[in-house]
Amino acid sequence: MKVFVNQEEKSINDSLSLLKLLESMGVKPIGLAIAVNQSVIPKDSWDSFTLKDNDDVMLVRATQGG
């Protein structure tokens, strides 16, 4: 199935969780927020939240700056 991560199409296995998606992409979850279909997913739900075909995933990393 396919999902879109920050507007890039990705092919993934069925029943992949958000946490497994991050692992497969080599993304560390530190300082990260995730929204799926414009709804923010709480960090404690990433392991149980299962992606569906054509989901739109937005990864946002917090940064310091001035």
Supply the pTM of this predicted model: 0.90
The total domain count for the chain is 1
Whole-number pLDDT of residue 65: 72
Is residue 16, in this structure, part of any structural domain at all?
yes
The pLDDT tens digits for 8-27 are: 999 998 889 999 999 999 99
Domain that holds residue 13: 2-61
Is the pLDDT score of 64 beyond 80?
A: no
Is residue 66, in this structure, part of any structural domain at all?
no
The pLDDT tens digits for 32-57 are: 999 999 999 999 999 999 999 999 99
Whole-number pLDDT of residue 62: 83
- For 20, counting Cβ atoms within 10 Å of its Cβ (0-12 exposed, 13-18 middle, 19+ buried), the class is middle
Give first-to-last CA distance, the chain, whole Å: 41
CATH number at residue 22: 3.10.20.30
Is residue 53, in this structure, part of any structural domain at all?
yes
Is the pLDDT score of 5 beyond 90?
A: yes
Is residue 22, in this structure, part of any structural domain at all?
yes
DSSP β-ladder status, 56-61 and 32-36: antiparallel
